[in-house]
Amino acid sequence: MSLPINGIINVNKPPGITSMDVIRRIRRVSGLRRVGHSGTLDPLASGVMVVALGVAARLLEYITELDKSYAAIIELGKSTDTYDGEGEIVNSESAVIVSDSDVRSAIQTFKGTQSQIPPMHSAIKVNGVKLYNLARKGITIDRAPRQVNLYDAYISDFKSPELELQITCSKGFYVRTFANDLGIRLGCGAYLKELVRTSVGKFSIEDSFNLDFIETNFQKNNSRIFLHKLETVLDPIPKLQLNFDETQKVQNGISIPAEGNHKLEINSPISMALTEEEKLVAVMRFNEEELIWKPEKVFRDQMQKIN
């Protein structure tokens, strides 16, 4: 009997398909139903898409919180109703006179924490309905702004009207909205022409795998070459090495004192508790008032294989 497949795949999503298309293909070739991802990429976008299999899906909420980086090509002088190349052009300038310094000055105004209004053409749900479904019917509704962070954006190439930027941002940041807002700031309009997600936390595009490679190796029962183990996917957060008694307590939802070796790990609000055999027991959260590590997610499926 084969062991269940649990882990994370760093997928290099190709342009032209949806994020759900990626999930369907991996479900089909892996034979698993429990497959999820840490954040949608638009159909035109490509790059890093973190996909979780089996019980690893329970770790996605932590991966979703990680910062992202992108390589974006923005065309100046045109605006579209979707803020990207899939939409209809709603404004076009006959000439674009924008310098490098103009762009750098405009970008500077967006750096740091900002309120960003999600585009109508997005997968966000309002009253259970995805915004893009309303947008396709010609319906526009008010959207609540989101607090996001633009940590950095710099010019990697600029041959007007095409501007290439390297962007580092928080979760929830819409590069399409940023492109549209940047065009407004520059006074010429702009839309997102191409987008590549280059990293999600520690998962980089250099270490990603394309779908054909993943499918081929699943068919060869060789998934270990691209599957990240549960115990490493949240690195570099600290790890608590538990003895047998502590393992039994945590497995049953009982907190453990943040003392001894465990006290040294209090530089992060969460940690991963591992058995003496280096198997994941739980994600733990530090309680500062009580000076304890409290089990937040216990992985009993993992424990069944070692008990």
| Active site amino acids | 42
- DSSP string spanning 15-59? TTS-HHHHHHHHHHHHT-S-EEESS---TT-EEEEEEEEGGGGGG
Contact 158, 164 (CB under 8 A): yes
Q: What is the enclosing helix (H) or strand (E) of 147?
A: strand 146-159
User: Taking a C-beta distance cutoff of 8 angstroms, is the pair 200, 12 a contact?
Assistant: no
Question: For residue 209, what are the β-bridge partners?
Answer: 11
Contact 148, 67 (CB under 8 A): no
Nearest Cα residue to 140 out of 165, 161, 164, 122: 122
**Residues near 180 by Cβ (< 8 Å), separated by ≥ 6?**
79, 83, 119, 190, 191, 192
Tokens of 238: 């600290």
**Which has the closest alpha carbon to 67: 165, 228, 226, 198?**
198
DSSP 138: T
Helical H segments across 109-233, by residue range = 131-136, 175-186, 211-219
Environment class of 128 (CB within 10 Å of its CB; exposed 0-12, middle 13-18, buried 19+): exposed
Phi, psi of 129, rounded to the nearest 5 degrees:
-115, 130
Instruction: List Cα–Cα distances, 271 to 14, 283, 286, in angstroms.
Output: 33, 6, 8
Query: How many Å apart are CA 266 and CA 264, to the nearest integer?
Result: 6
